[in-house]
Structure 1
Amino acid sequence: MLTKYGALSADWEANHRADNYYSPGSAYDPDPALPLNGGHVRDKYVSVFRFGVRVLLYDMNLTPGTNEQEALFFSNVELPPDAKDRLATRAARL
């Protein structure tokens, strides 16, 4: 079962906490470690977009001080297990 990028909407909803402060279905997983947004706790996942029955687009907020390697790690963890990081593959060939 996928619970991140490519997840079925029902699986996404079952594994993430919706933030009803924003438009329904658009923000998930409030994280007090993130900077406030207008006095409100910022969410890890925002601008969540579904295409059909799958979650196929979102922005992910990272905590301040996250370096580039950590950001790449966190973004790769979001992908399905059989996904390939083409950027890393290409960089390894250069």
Structure 2
Amino acid sequence: HKVVKVFGHERDSVEKFRQINQGLYEVGWKAQFMSGIIFPAINFVNNIGYVLVVLVGGLLVAQRAIFIGDVQAFIQYMRQFTHPIIQVANIAN
């Protein structure tokens, strides 16, 4: 700090720091915004899938086309498929 003052570059150093700090703030804000959107969006899509499986499966069970165990198995398969996607999204956060 003293060396910068002695050579008269304090204003330049402060301005350079301000620019770098502003860039860091903007990048950090964008990263935080994206991490705040990714996980809820994936959860929403995942939950819509569960609702569809339960509705269609419930109708098929009511028509005796499949058994309730088939619906449960399909839900489990869906969970096995979506779990790695959720893990990747968590890594991105």
TM-score interval w.r.t. the shorter chain? Answer: under 0.3
Which one has a bigger Cα radius of gyration? 2
Identify which of structures 1 and 2 has the higher relative contact order when contacts are C-alpha pairs closer than 8 Å and 6+ apart: 2
TM-score by length of 1: 0.26
Higher helix share: 2
